[in-house]
Structure 1
């Protein structure tokens, strides 16, 4: 799953893809059907990259990508507007070690809404760039050694002599 370039903007619903940058901020495109363009000023809005978001866990924080992977393999996803107990029961399945005291129902609703926005996008099935490069390097076969060419003698530069005047 490749979440690179996807961001959530504080105060704005939905998710956005970064399509450019200008001197005062970023140019974003919404991931919904409208594909609305938005220019975000970095001094007034906060951007949260989906690949950097984690959820509080009992031992370690849980990456959002891991939760999305578990949600992808889940049989049914509850409605984001469901009650808190239904959401908590579902989250115990997809994020079994989440900290139930610090992960609120509003957080779970937001994650389920984000998942419903990006689950049909092609980038949802892509590998992140780092994993893709690692897979390519593992799959690469080293070429067989070829016969080594003999070293050619290096030509010496002709010395220039100065004419005596």
Structure 2
């Protein structure tokens, strides 16, 4: 499953799989417990494929950060938990993305990234390569 079908919903823990869209919003299924929820258009919803992390030079797509975590951990879950102290989280993230912008990427962001990676790993979603749509777009540009 591609990251463009995985959602983060403001005020709701964990991640959700997009099941279907409705006139008033959409239906999502929790990757943690499988419960379905209906989410209105007023909720703050982020699609993981649209999230990027600030570095000193550019913004790095979240899937690339996940790929770097996967390489560091050799395909396993993270060696650090998302509830670790701020300094430990920052040290870990610095190993993953050495040039991340410390002024714009907060410890709470790092916690979410570590937690999301582990949730995706538990669900067997470990292919963080570009989605088919992005591959098509890039091949058309060339």
TM range (shorter): 0.7 to 0.9
- Counterparts of residues 4-153 of structure 1 (less than 5 Å): 4-32=4-32, 34-43=33-42, 45-75=43-73, 76-125=78-127, 127=129, 128-130=131-133
Q: 1 or 2, which has the higher helix percentage?
A: 2
The TM-score with structure 1 as length reference comes to 0.74
Structure 2 unmatched runs, 5+: 138-142
Aligned CA RMSD, in angstroms, stands at: 2.3
Q: 1 or 2, which has the higher strand percentage?
A: 2
Structure 1 unmatched runs, 5+: 135-165
1-structure distance, mates of 2:125, 2:116: 14
Change in Cα spacing, 1:62 to 1:81, as seen in structure 2 (3 Å) is same
Q: 1:95 Cα deviation (Å)?
A: 1.3
Q: 1:123 Cα deviation (Å)?
A: 3.9
Residue 155 (structure 1) aligns with: none
Following TM superposition, the consecutive aligned residue runs of length 4 or more in structure 1 with deviations greater than 6 angstroms are: none
2-structure distance, mates of 1:35, 1:58: 38
Which of structures 1 and 2 has the bigger CA Rg? 1
